Structure 1
Amino acid sequence: MILLQHIGDIVKFDLDVSGVQLCSYADIDRWMLYVTRYGVKELTLNMSKNISSTYKVPSYIFDCRTLTQLKLFKCIFKLPNSFLGFQTLTILQLKEVTFAPAIEFYAIKTPLLVELNLTHCEGTQYLNIEFSSGLKYLSVRESHYNLDLNSNYFRNIKKLTYLYLVFDNPIRVDERLTLEKLLFSSPTLETLTLGRVPKGLHYTLNCLWHLQLGVNFNKLGQTCYTLELIKSFPNLSKLEIWDNAFGDPDEAVMKYLDAPSCLDQTLNKLEDVSIHIFRRSKVVLSFIKLLFAHAPSLSRMSIKPKNASSSKEELNVATELMRFPRVSPKAKLFYHPTVGLKAE
C-alpha cells in the first residue's frame, strides 16, 4: 500500500470503509498503527455502512499525543487503563459509537477541546467528559447521553457559542436543571437547537440570536413554553421551527393563541423565520399569524410543507397566509409547496 511507503509526518488521514465488506480488521489496525507513529493530527475512520461492524478502536489511537481532530463512525470505544485523556485534541466527533461497559466511568480529560459531537451513540452512561473552558460547540443527538452530569463538568464552560440537543424522549426535570446550568454558564451562546421544548426555563439570554426548536403545536404546554422561550431571547434574529405535531389538536391551544395576552411583547430583533415540515394545521397558521403581528423587523417568513397536497389546498393555504397582517413593511412570505402536487 502507498501509505506504508510514505516518508515523513502524516498530518491528515481519512479512512472510509463504509461500503466495504471486511473479513478482517488486520489491515485497518496496521494502518492506524502506522499513522499514529508518524504524528497524525487529524484522523477519521468511517465504518458507518458496515451493519455488523465490531471494530474496536485500538489503544494506540488513545496514546497518540499529536491528535488534534478525531472522528470515529460506528466503532467500539474502550479506553485503556493507562489513558490520561486527549491532551491535544480540539475536535472530537463520535457517530454510532458504542462505549463498552466499564466498572467505572470513562473519565476523558480534554483540556483543549473546542468541539464535541455525539450522534446516535450507545453506552454513554459509562462516559464522563471533563469539558475544557474553551469548548465552543457541543452537539448531542439521540444518544443515550446522561445530561445529569456532575455540575463540575459544566462549571468551566464560559465560551460555548453553539448548543445542539436532540433526544427521542422528553426532557426530564433533572435534565432540564442541568440544561439550565449549562445555559446560565454560557454567556456567549449564539445558537441553540432543541429537539423538544423544555418546560419552564426562566431566564434571559441576551447573546443568543439563532433558535431552532421542534414543537408539537397540538399540545398547549409545548406551545406556551415555545413562546416563553422566544421571549427569553431579546436579541433573537433567526428562528427555525420544526412542526412535530402528532395526536389530536387541543382546542385550548387555539384559544390560547387567539388571546390578546398570548404574546405580550414585541419581537424587535426577529428578522428571519422558517417553519419546517409544515402540516397545514390551523394551530401553526395561528402561530405564524402571531409572529407576523409582533415582529416589526421581520424580512423573511419561509414555510416548507411536510408533503405534497392538492393544488387547491395549497392555494387556499397560501391565500390565507398572504392575508395575515404584517407589522413589518418589509416582511416577505416564501411558501415552498412540495414538488409534485397531488392531482385533484
Structure 2
Amino acid sequence: MDRISRLPVGVIETILCLLPIQEAARTSILSKEWRYHWIKIPKLVFIEDQFQVSTDRAELSVSNKPSKRRKKAKRSKFFHAICQVLLIHEGPIHEFTLEMQVDNSCVDIDHILLHLSKKNTVKMLKLELDDMYDGYRLPFSFFSFRQVTEMYLYDCTLFHDPSSYEFPCLTTLYLRRISTYDKTLIRLLSSCPSLKRLSLHSDGATIIGCGGSTIVDLFECLPLIEYLSVRLYTVECFKPERLPKKLPTTLVHLKCLRMKFFCFSHKHGLPFLVPLIRSSPNLEKLQLVMEDIDWPDEEDFGSFTLEDYSDIMFEHLNELEIIHFGDTENELDFVKLVLAKSPVLKKVRINPHRCIDEDEAAEILKILVCDCTPCASHVVDISVGKF
C-alpha cells in the first residue's frame, strides 16, 4: 500500500476536495481502496466552463468554436454528470457550487436544488448563473436550506415570498445582480437572525422598489452585521426619504464597511454614508471604491466641509482605503477629516483615478502628509499610487 493510501480518511477527502470533480472521480481506478473515496467528499464544485467531454472532431465547427448542437450536447452531459454524482454520493454534502450559463435548463437546476434541500446538510451554497436577461428564478426548495451558513447568489431572481421561512444559521450572504422586490429583500434579510457578513451588489435595475421599504428598514434587519459591502445605487431601490442624522439602529458590531461606485457629488452619496458612519461606533476599516468615470457635468448636491461633520469620530478606525480617487476637493477634504478624527488610524491607501499621473499622485501625498501631520502623526503607513 502506498503512502497516500495510508493517510487518514479525512486527509484523503481534503485532498480530493482540491481536485476538479472529474479528476477526483478518476482516482477510483487507482486501487480498491480508492474506489469509493471520491463519492464521500463533502465539497462538490461543478463549473460548466471546466467540464470536459470526449467528442468527435466532426462535431467541431470550422471556426473551432462549439456549434449550438455541440453546446446543447455538452449541457446535457454536464447535467447528467451532476445527477450521477448526486445519486451515488454517500454522506453529507457540506459545500455545493454550480457555475454555468442559464438558458432553458432551469428545470434541471430546480431538481438539483430539490435533491440537496432534502439532504439538509449543505452549509455553503454558491449559485453563479450567468444570465443577462431574466435570471434564474429560485424555486421554493431554496427556502429549505436551513443548515446553510454561507450563501452566494449571482444572477438569480426571487419574486415569490413564502409566508414563513428562516435561515437560522446563515452568517454570510452575497447577492450580485439579484432581481427581487424591495420588500422581498427586507423579508429575506429579516429571516437571517445570525447574519454577520452581507454583500449587496444590486441596484434599481434589479431591485424593484414597490413595497415602500426604506433604508432605515434595511439596516433594522442587520443588528449583528460585522462586514457590509454595498453599492451606492442600492439606495435608489428604496423609498425616497430624508435620512436622519443618525440611524435609529446602532450597528455596534460593524467592523468593515465597503462602498462601491461611491461618488461625493451623487445625491445619495454623503446623505447615505455619513449617517451610516455615525451609527457604526466600532468601525475598523473603511473602503470607498469611487465611481470610475468622469463627472464633469454632475449636479452639485452640496460641497463637503469639515465643519458640517465636526461631530464625527472614528474611534476605532485603523485602515482607510479609497480606490479610483479623483482628487476632487470633496474627496481630499474627506480624507483630511478621517485623518483628523481617527486617533488609532494606522494605514491609509489611496489608489488614484486612471486620469491621475504619477506626479499628481505625489502631490496628493505631499498635501496629505504636510497638512495632516499635526493631527495624524500616529499614521504609520500612508501611500498614494497604483497598487
Q: TM-score normalized by structure 1?
A: 0.76
Residue in structure 2 matching 1:163, options 198, 214, 217: 198
Higher mean Cα deviation, 296-305 or 153-162?
153-162
CA distance in 1, matches of 2:275, 2:150: 29
Alignment of 1:1-344 (within 5 A): 3=25, 6=28, 7-8=35-36, 9-11=39-41, 12-18=43-49, 21=66, 22-24=71-73, 25-39=75-89, 41=93, 42-48=95-101, 54-56=104-106, 57=108, 60-64=111-115, 67=116, 87-96=120-129, 98-100=135-137, 108-121=143-156, 123-126=157-160, 130-149=165-184, 153-169=188-204, 172=209, 174=213, 176-183=215-222, 186=223, 188-196=224-232, 198=235, 200=243, 201-214=247-260, 215-219=262-266, 221-244=268-291, 247=295, 248=297, 253-254=302-303, 257-326=304-373, 327-338=375-386
Q: SS at 1:233's partner residue?
A: coil
Higher mean Cα deviation, 202-211 or 316-325?
316-325
1:289 positional shift = 0.9
Q: Is the 8 A contact 1:278 1:304 kept in 2?
A: yes
Q: SS at 1:47's partner residue?
A: strand
CA distance 1:101–1:276, change in 2 (3 Å):
closer
State the match for 1:81 in structure 2: none
CA distance 1:252–1:29, change in 2 (3 Å):
closer
CA distance in 2, matches of 1:136, 1:18: 29
CA distance in 1, matches of 2:350, 2:185: 41
Give the residue type in structure 1 aligned to 2:231.
Answer: G
CA distance 1:320–1:127, change in 2 (3 Å):
same
CA distance in 2, matches of 1:251, 1:267: 27
1:279 positional shift = 1.6
Q: Is the 8 A contact 2:97 2:125 kept in 1?
A: no
Richer in helix (by share): 2
1:137 positional shift = 0.5
CA distance in 2, matches of 1:193, 1:58: 28
CA distance in 2, matches of 1:134, 1:319: 48
1:294 positional shift = 0.9
CA distance in 2, matches of 1:270, 1:313: 27
Give the residue type in structure 1 aligned to 2:230.
Answer: L
Q: Is the 8 A contact 1:116 1:137 kept in 2?
A: yes
CA distance in 2, matches of 1:99, 1:252: 38
Q: Is the 8 A contact 1:18 1:47 kept in 2?
A: yes
Q: Is the 8 A contact 1:166 1:196 kept in 2?
A: no
What per-residue deviation string (whole Å, max 9, x for no partner) do you get for residues 148-167 of structure 1?
12866555533211011122
Higher mean Cα deviation, 111-120 or 328-337?
328-337
Q: Is the 8 A contact 1:161 1:191 kept in 2?
A: yes
Give the residue type in structure 1 aligned to 2:166.
Answer: F
Flag structure 2 segments of 5+ consecutive residues without an equivalent.
Answer: 1-21, 29-34, 53-65, 236-241
State the match for 2:18 in structure 1: none
Higher mean Cα deviation, 127-136 or 270-279?
127-136
CA distance in 2, matches of 1:220, 1:100: 33
CA distance 1:132–1:307, change in 2 (3 Å):
same
CA distance 1:145–1:86, change in 2 (3 Å):
farther
Q: Is the 8 A contact 1:223 1:253 kept in 2?
A: no
What per-residue deviation string (whole Å, max 9, x for no partner) do you get for residues 303-326 of structure 1?
111315334323322222222325
Flag structure 1 segments of 5+ consecutive residues without an equivalent.
Answer: 68-83, 340-344
CA distance 1:45–1:224, change in 2 (3 Å):
closer
State the match for 1:70 in structure 2: none
Q: SS at 1:211's partner residue?
A: strand
Q: SS at 1:236's partner residue?
A: coil
Q: Which has the larger radius of gyration?
A: 2
Q: TM-score normalized by structure 2?
A: 0.69
Higher mean Cα deviation, 300-309 or 272-281?
300-309
State the match for 1:78 in structure 2: none
CA distance in 1, matches of 2:298, 2:82: 54
Q: Is the 8 A contact 2:151 2:174 kept in 1?
A: yes
What per-residue deviation string (whole Å, max 9, x for no partner) do you get for residues 291-343 of structure 1?
1111111111111113153343233222222223253322145334238xxxx
Q: SS at 1:266's partner residue?
A: coil
1:5 positional shift = 9.1
CA distance in 1, matches of 2:153, 2:113: 18
1:134 positional shift = 1.2
What per-residue deviation string (whole Å, max 9, x for no partner) do you get for residues 16-65 of structure 1?
331674341342233222211222624434335xxx8554425652353x
CA RMSD of aligned residues (A): 3.3
